[in-house]
Amino acid sequence: MIKIFAKILLFALPAIIAVVITADKYDNGFIDFHYSKITGEGKSLIIGTSRASQGLIPEIVMQDTHFDSPMLNYAFTSYNSPYNKEYYRAIEMKLDPSTKNGIFILEIDPLAISENENEKTPSHLLSQQYIFHGDPNYEYLYRNVNPFYTLILRNNEGNPNCLPHKDGRLEIILNDSPAKTTERANEKLIAIKKEISHCKISDEKVEWLKKTIDLLKKHGKVILVRIPAWQPIIDAENKGFPNLNKILNEISTTQEIPYFDCSTFALKYAYIDGNHLNQESSKLFSKELNHLILSH
Amino acid sequence: MVFNSIHYLFFISVVFVLYFLLPAKQRWKLLLAASVYFYCTFDIKFLVLIAFSIFTSFFLAIKSEETADESKKKLFLHLAIWSSALILAVFKYYNFFAESGTELFASMGIAVSPLLIKIGLPIGLSFYTFQIIGYSLDVYYGVSKAERKLGIYSLYILFFPKLIAGPIEQSQNLLPQLHKEQNFDYNRITSGIKLIAWGLFKKVCIADRLSVFVDMVFSSPEQYSGLQSIIACYFLVFMVYTDFSGYTDMAVGAARIFGFNLIRNFNRPFISQNLTEFWKRWHISLYTWCYEYIYNPLSFNYRNWKQWGIILAIFATLTFSGLWHGAALTFIIYGVLHAIGLTAEYFLSPFRAKMKSTLPSLFYKYVSIAITFHFFLFTLIIFKSDTLSEAFYIIESFTKINISQFGLYLFGDYKIEFLLSFVFVFALLGMEYWQSKTDNYLSFHLKLPSFVRWSAYALMILIVVYFGVIKSNEFVYAQF
């Protein structure tokens, strides 16, 4: 029996070596929107959806605070990381167990705690992932660059429209002319309204949000935040989910954690597509959040 | 837990180690436990259904064998068959007939609101139901003895290598093997591992690669040119073949590791010179089942109808086999078309015999192969399409081609994948040709020097790892 396993390992060795060499040599370009979150490390974390992924800059949020650093932006998308069992597991696996005084920003987008009555919740991007640390992350690369030889074809090239940072933050670079920005915002508003019309707050996801809070409280301070978006989108969300703030305030009270509803600051900022803060506004909002953290 | 997943690799490795560490007499229990676990990884709630089917068919077969009263025997047989068949009918066909009935009533001006079942199809339902029905019939007709050990019978139904998509094992083949103690045979085990690797190559390097282009074209045929549609159709044939035969190789290989020989499900179907031969080479276990339990009884019972009895048996068998694939008009038409083809062959056999004796043998052979292949291709277009109009749209594209427009640009970002697809399909056909020169499947290479063999194994693994397309979807036939 040992001979069989030994032979399989021997025959698999060239393939394993080829994968490792390829990953080492060719993982420097753009892999996907989320790879830097897997390879990055942080004692403090930003959790949530794409609003947080693009809108919160860890370095600025952490400035002058006394919390364990560095901070990793571990927010994905409302499609890939709603609050559920799989995202909880991904957070648990990524968490540095030695963190005692971290800060954990939980961004709440109503779609992250709701369910679409017409669609089954898709599997989380990381639901099959076993290894959450390491750079390069061979498992993530192998699972997500498919077929694997295409990693060589990418030739370490970047993506002109997307810059993933080492701290996990995602920077999207789009034509920022007023006309294009407005067009994107209007399209996004239509899409979000359509999505909201089929969604309702999920009790199960709210429970998983609470479990996530319980998990993270053991390692430091937890803060709930609702990031601003274009006012018509915020209005649509408030209309579609009238109980949202009530739920979040209740969680804040029972869990004894602060909740910052920054959606009321929508008019102060600018957005690349109505849903996500643009670069300048990301800096400004991260600073705003930093002030809120320091003053709380 | 699909066969081409890390989870399955880990699972089968653990089962393999434990299997040969256990005393020989206890090994079947481990396989049974592993099979139950395997089934539960898909959907634990349907375990109740398969357990019900197992228990009822087990006890009814014993009752049927023990009683001398023919009417009671028949009663037990019907209970065994219908208790499982009804489950299949409800889960697989109820919604189709309910919706079809609604449309029919609507066309007559009668508004009906059908009660539809919104529950998934239990994995492997079609396969194990047929196995149970076949077993019940075998016991009734005295072909097999009723199994007296519930555990062994459960393993016969649940055996994980063949559970989700066959082969549909006949009781005379697998049941006796389950009673034998299996020893550790190095050559047998390594042969099974090689078969698994070969099946994995077919699945991830060919089937899943081809399916990218096929699914693109079939989901929106109006966006693609006639030439692209035609290429997608040819890809479709090899995609379905390598997906299903790849799965079967992995199933047969896994069973072989544990000492069991499952029925071979494919035997180079694309060298068939006529449909009769084709159906002895394609999805052999299903068509053996249909031949034994539908065609033979019907053709015997209607033998007084002479050739019309045979035609009736052909139509019933092929239509049923089409319907087996699923509750859709396209599947039924697929079966009916093959019935028409086989019937035409039956009536044209004197003409074909004359052609065979008149024409040069090689010419006759390859023209026959080409006709059979393309007949299958056209029926597969209907099989794959969601609706008949979609199928006709794609078939119509065969009349709108301009060969001079052929070029790699047709494939856009898929160019390299297209070239790889060709290379791998030719490699597959070459391997099958080479392997046909020997009686033992995949054993021909044992004649090669060790260094060459070992390099080939390492290269195979490298190709699968490096060029394999990992898709989260299951094997095509697991959906049936």
Q: pLDDT tens digits for B322-357? A: 888 887 888 999 999 999 999 999 888 888 888 888
Residue A194 covered by a domain: yes
**Distance in Å, alpha carbon of B9 to nearest chain A alpha carbon:** 12
Is the omega angle on the peptide bond into residue A136 within 30 degrees of 0, that is, cis? yes
Q: What is the structure's pLDDT at B95? A: 72
Mark whether B145 and B217 lie in a shared domain.
Answer: no
Q: Say whether residue A6 is in contact with chain B using an 8 A CB cutoff.
A: no
Q: What is the structure's pLDDT at B251? A: 95
Q: Which residues of A touch B462 (CB under 8 A)?
A: 14-15, 18
Which range scores top for mean pLDDT: A179-183, A210-214, B360-364, B393-397?
A210-214
CB-based contact A31:B477 (threshold 8 Å): no
CB-based contact B147:B156 (threshold 8 Å): yes
Q: Which residue has the higher pLDDT, B207 or A123?
A: B207
Q: Per-block average pLDDT, block size 10, for chain A (296 residues)?
A: 88 92 90 91 94 95 93 88 89 93 95 82 77 92 90 87 90 88 92 91 93 96 96 94 94 95 92 93 95 91
Residue A2 covered by a domain: no
Answer with the one of B184, B218, B235 that is the final residue of a domain. B184
**Distance in Å, alpha carbon of B356 to nearest chain A alpha carbon:** 46
Contact yes or no for B458 and A14 at CB 8 A: yes
Mark whether B194 and B256 lie in a shared domain.
Answer: yes
Distance CA B226, CA B204 (A): 27
Q: Which of A11, A129, A138, A151 to mutate to test the interface with B (most CBs of B within 10 A)?
A: A11
Q: What is the structure's pLDDT at B55? A: 95
For residue A29, CA distances in Å to A36, A150, B249 come to 11, 12, 38
Q: Smallest Cβ distance to A19: which of B13, B17, B465? A: B465
For residue range B90-125, what is the model confidence (pLDDT) as tens digits?
888 777 777 777 777 777 777 766 666 566 778 889
Contact yes or no for A15 and B470 at CB 8 A: no
Answer with the one of B184, B206, B231 that is the final residue of a domain. B184
Mark whether B453 and B403 lie in a shared domain.
Answer: yes
Q: By CA distance, what is A127's nearest residue in B? A: B472
Contact yes or no for B457 and A11 at CB 8 A: yes
Distance CA B83, CA B61 (A): 13
**Distance in Å, alpha carbon of B95 to nearest chain A alpha carbon:** 19
Q: What is the structure's pLDDT at A155? A: 85
Residue B412 covered by a domain: yes
Mark whether B216 and B147 lie in a shared domain.
Answer: no
**Distance in Å, alpha carbon of B129 to nearest chain A alpha carbon:** 29
Q: By CA distance, what is A151's nearest residue in B? A: B466
For residue range B112-159, what is the model confidence (pLDDT) as tens digits?
666 665 667 788 898 999 999 999 999 999 889 999 999 999 999 999
What residues have CB less than 8 Å from B104, skipping those under 6 apart? none
Q: Smallest Cβ distance to B462: which of A8, A14, A123? A: A14
Contact yes or no for B462 and A18 at CB 8 A: yes
Residue A48 covered by a domain: yes
**DSSP state for residue B306 in the 8-state scheme:** T
Q: Smallest Cβ distance to A146: which of B416, B464, B470? A: B470
Answer with the one of B143, B159, B184 that is the final residue of a domain. B184
Q: Which of B461, B464, B469 to mutate to test the interface with A (most CBs of A within 10 A)?
A: B461
CATH number, domain at A264? 3.40.50.1110
How many domains would you assign to chain B?
2
ipTM: 0.81
Mark whether B316 and B240 lie in a shared domain.
Answer: yes
In terms of pTM, does the model score above 0.80?
A: yes
CB-based contact B193:A4 (threshold 8 Å): yes
Interface residues of chain B, partner chain A, Cβ below 8 Å: 6, 13, 16-17, 20, 184, 186, 189-190, 193, 209, 416, 454, 457-458, 461-462, 464-472
Q: What is the structure's pLDDT at B198? A: 92
Identify which of B282, B62, B245 has the alpha carbon closest to the alpha carbon of residue B290.
B282
Residue A155 covered by a domain: no
Mark whether B142 and B45 lie in a shared domain.
Answer: yes
Token pair belonging to A122:
């898709």
Q: Which residues of B touch A5 (CB under 8 A)?
A: 13
Q: Say whether residue A11 is in contact with chain B using an 8 A CB cutoff.
A: yes
Residue A9 covered by a domain: no
Lowest mean pLDDT among A8-22, B36-50, B102-116, B231-245: B102-116
Cβ of B415: how many Cβ atoms within 10 Å?
13
Q: In A244-278, where does DSSP find H-type helix? A: 244-255
Domain extent at residue A213: 41-137+160-295
Mark whether B134 and B232 lie in a shared domain.
Answer: no
Mark whether B12 and B81 lie in a shared domain.
Answer: yes
Q: Which residue has the tokens 């920022």?
A: A176
Q: Is the pLDDT of residue B472 over 70?
A: no
Q: By CA distance, what is A143's nearest residue in B? A: B470
Mark whether B333 and B382 lie in a shared domain.
Answer: yes
CB-based contact A138:A272 (threshold 8 Å): no
**Distance in Å, alpha carbon of B234 to nearest chain A alpha carbon:** 22
Q: Which residues of A touch B20 (CB under 8 A)?
A: 1
- Mean pLDDT of the region B268-277: 92
Please give the backbone phi and psi of residue A108, each rounded to the nearest 5 degrees, phi first: -110, 115
Whole-number average pLDDT of chain B: 87
**DSSP state for residue B264 in the 8-state scheme:** P
CA A219 to chain centre: 19
Mark whether B295 and B150 lie in a shared domain.
Answer: no
Torsion angle, alpha carbons of B26, B28, B29, B31, to 10: 130
Contact yes or no for A149 and B467 at CB 8 A: yes
CB-based contact B475:B165 (threshold 8 Å): yes
CB-based contact A275:A188 (threshold 8 Å): yes
How many domains would you assign to chain A?
1
Return the SS3 of B468. coil
Residue A65 covered by a domain: yes
Q: Which residues of B touch A149 (CB under 8 A)?
A: 466-467
Q: Which residue has the tokens 């300048």?
A: A280
Identify which of A194, A186, A197 has the alpha carbon closest to the alpha carbon of residue A271.
A186
Domain extent at residue B217: 188-479
**Distance in Å, alpha carbon of A2 to nearest chain B alpha carbon:** 10
Q: Which residues of B touch A129 (CB under 8 A)?
A: none
Residue A4 covered by a domain: no
Q: By CA distance, what is A149's nearest residue in B? A: B466
Contact yes or no for A4 and B457 at CB 8 A: no
What residues have CB less than 8 Å from B24, skipping those under 6 apart? B181, B182, B183
Cα three-residue angle B64-B67-B69, rounded to 5 degrees = 105
Q: What is the structure's pLDDT at B90? A: 85
Q: Say whether residue A143 is in contact with chain B using an 8 A CB cutoff.
A: yes
Residue B1 covered by a domain: no
Kind of pairing between the strands at A220-226 and A102-107? parallel
Mark whether B195 and B174 lie in a shared domain.
Answer: no
Distance CA B269, CA B290 (A): 18
Mark whether B172 and B194 lie in a shared domain.
Answer: no
Q: What is the structure's pLDDT at B402? A: 65
**Distance in Å, alpha carbon of A91 to nearest chain B alpha carbon:** 22
For residue A46, the cross-strand partners are A73, A105
Radius of gyration over every alpha carbon of chain A, rounded to an integer in angstroms: 20
CB-based contact A226:A263 (threshold 8 Å): yes
Is the omega angle on the peptide bond into residue B360 within 30 degrees of 0, that is, cis? no
Q: What is the structure's pLDDT at B158? A: 94
Q: What is the structure's pLDDT at A244? A: 93
Contact yes or no for B17 and A1 at CB 8 A: yes
- Mean pLDDT of the region B373-401: 87
B129 membership: H or E segment, kind and range: helix B125-140
Token pair belonging to A28:
């420097």
